[in-house]
Amino acid sequence: MGRTLTKMIQQGQTIGIIGGGQLGQMMALDAKQTGMKVIVLDPTPACPAGQVADDQIVAPYADVKAITELARRADVLTYEFENVDLNALEDVADKVYVPQGTHLLYTTKNRIREKTFLRDAGLQTAPFMAVKNETDLKKAVDEIGYPSVLKTCEGGYDGHGQEVLHSDADLAKCAGILSTKDAILEGWVPFKLECSVMVARNENGEVTVFPVSENIHHNEILHLSIVPARISPELQKKAQQMAVKIAHAIDLRGILGVEMFVTADGQIYINELAPRPHNSGHYSIEACNFSQFAIHNRAICNWPLPKIKLLQPVVMVNVLGQHVAGVRQQIAKKPNWHFHDYGKAEIRHNRKMGHVTILTDDIEATLKEIDNTGIWQK
Ligand code: AMP
């Protein structure tokens, strides 16, 4: 406390966001409430963030002219996803304040770089080896054993570009992933549950950390987050400490999602890092004194960071395309549910369309209530 912040973005100044999906939308909503101006770059006219921003530049994410225009018009530049063109971002770094830099993105874009960074920083990950071809794969399987999982190093999401291997018979399924010539074999972590922690840091080195979210996936897509996670207070603290350690080690600016596996014997493994707000942090909009979006904006604007408090236990459930009709019928029945809809033009199967947040003093009863709607069948 009391230190002078290096560069504070003021109310009335402009945040430029590369990417206009729901994460950008919720960043923009917070920024507008705080009195910032927001310009979004996204190729889809009236994309979710474009609907709430002051302006949208409609152009592809990697369009250098468009990024340059965004840089010229913004006072601080951020992004809402990791597939940002690193070269384009580096090119505009002398025109606009880019507090997050490019090192974080460079590291988290690639699973080998990410896991190597984590291991070097003293954090536990699944055993892993780089795999560029079939010979590497055989060597890695000899070393790591089964079960294990082969993943593309870049561009995979929500379980895409992954193959779980149980025996030599599964090696034949790996051709697609091997054709990328850039894969990773990871040992399978026999986790009891998956959780995540959002952590943020500003240029002054102040750090703040969110409560631990327990994450349940359906078909590799986040289905539910439960906060606080149903693990011991000691493990929750350990998970938060690991996230803070990562934030310092990577010289974080802005917010970072840290995905973890927790095993039955109380070990925590870091799975992956998301250099942006994260779906599992949406609960914080209603359940915390500050949301993950507010904290990200504060961090990139170099405002001091508050201590995060969970105001009430909470369950967040995702609304995918196939859930929209059912969820809309619940609006008339559930006065206490917070219904979020991102305003996407087209409803598609498995597309994230919105989410519902339910503050509760009885997590198990709320999980049953969600189940009883019959909307979220596996
Ligand atoms: P990822 O894209 O790395 O987050 O992986 C998607 C999902 O696959 C994770 O949320 C886990 O449920 C599962 N998974 C991925 N890697 C591993 C691993 N090494 N051990 C156990 N489960 C894994």
For the residues 352-364, what does the mean pLDDT come to?
Answer: 98
User: Which residue out of 157, 166, 271 has the highest number of ligand 1 atoms within 8 Å of its CB and is therefore the one to mutate?
Assistant: 271
Chain centre to alpha carbon of residue 361 = 26
Reply yes or no on whether the pLDDT at 4 is more than 80: no
Q: What is the DSSP string of 199-264?
A: EEE-TT--EEEPPPEEEEEETTEEEEEEES-SS-HHHHHHHHHHHHHHHHHTT--EEEEEEEEEET
Buried b (16+ CB within 10 A) or exposed e, 195-209: bbbbbbbbbbebbbb
* Whole-number pLDDT of residue 239: 98
Percent of the chain with pLDDT over 90: 94
Candidates 39, 81, 73; CA nearest to 56 is 39
CA of residue 320 to ligand 1 center, whole Å: 20
For residue 269, list its beta bridge partners.
261
70 DSSP 8-state letter: H
Tell me the pLDDT tens digit for each residue of 278-309.
Answer: 999 999 999 999 999 999 999 999 999 999 99
From the CA of 259, give the closest atom in ligand 1. 4
Candidates 254, 304, 246; CA nearest to 275 is 254
Architecture category of domain 127-187 in CATH: 2-Layer Sandwich (3.30)
Evaluate: CB of 27 within 6 angstroms of ligand 1: no
Q: Do domains 14-98 and 191-372 have the same CATH topology?
A: no
Domain 14-98 classification at class level: alpha beta
Q: Whose CA is nearest to atom 19 of ligand 1?
A: 188
Q: Whose CA is nearest to atom 5 of ligand 1?
A: 159
Report the run of H or E that residue 315 belongs to, with start and end. strand 314-320
From the CA of 215, give the closest atom in ligand 1. 10
* Whole-number pLDDT of residue 362: 98
Evaluate: CB of 271 within 6 angstroms of ligand 1: yes
Q: Whose CA is nearest to atom 8 of ligand 1?
A: 159
Reply yes or no on whether the pLDDT at 157 is more than 80: no
Reply yes or no on whether the pLDDT at 319 is more than 60: yes
Evaluate: CB of 217 within 6 angstroms of ligand 1: yes
| Residue 161 binned pLDDT confidence (cut-offs 50, 70, 90) | confident
Reply yes or no on whether the pLDDT at 188 is more than 60: yes
203's tokens: 């240029």
80's tokens: 């809402």
For the residues 201-228, what does the mean pLDDT come to?
Answer: 97
From the CA of 126, give the closest atom in ligand 1. 19
Domain 191-372 classification at class level: alpha beta
* Whole-number pLDDT of residue 159: 67
For the residues 316-334, what does the mean pLDDT come to?
Answer: 98
d(CA 2, CA 112): 39
| Residue 8 binned pLDDT confidence (cut-offs 50, 70, 90) | very high
Report the run of H or E that residue 4 belongs to, with start and end. none
d(CA 214, CA 369): 18
Sorted by where each begins, the domain ranges of the chain are: 14-98, 127-187, 191-372
Candidates 156, 140, 258, 159; CA nearest to 209 is 258
Reply yes or no on whether the pLDDT at 1 is more than 90: no
- How many other CB atoms are there within 10 angstroms of residue 142's CB atom? 9
Reply yes or no on whether the pLDDT at 7 is more than 90: no
Q: Residue 166 — φ and ψ, nearest 5°?
A: -105, -25
* Whole-number pLDDT of residue 160: 76
Tell me the pLDDT tens digit for each residue of 68-112.
Answer: 999 999 999 999 998 899 999 999 999 999 999 999 999 999 999
* Whole-number pLDDT of residue 158: 64
| Residue 28 binned pLDDT confidence (cut-offs 50, 70, 90) | very high
Tell me the pLDDT tens digit for each residue of 45-69.
Answer: 999 999 999 999 999 998 999 999 9
CA of residue 215 to ligand 1 center, whole Å: 12
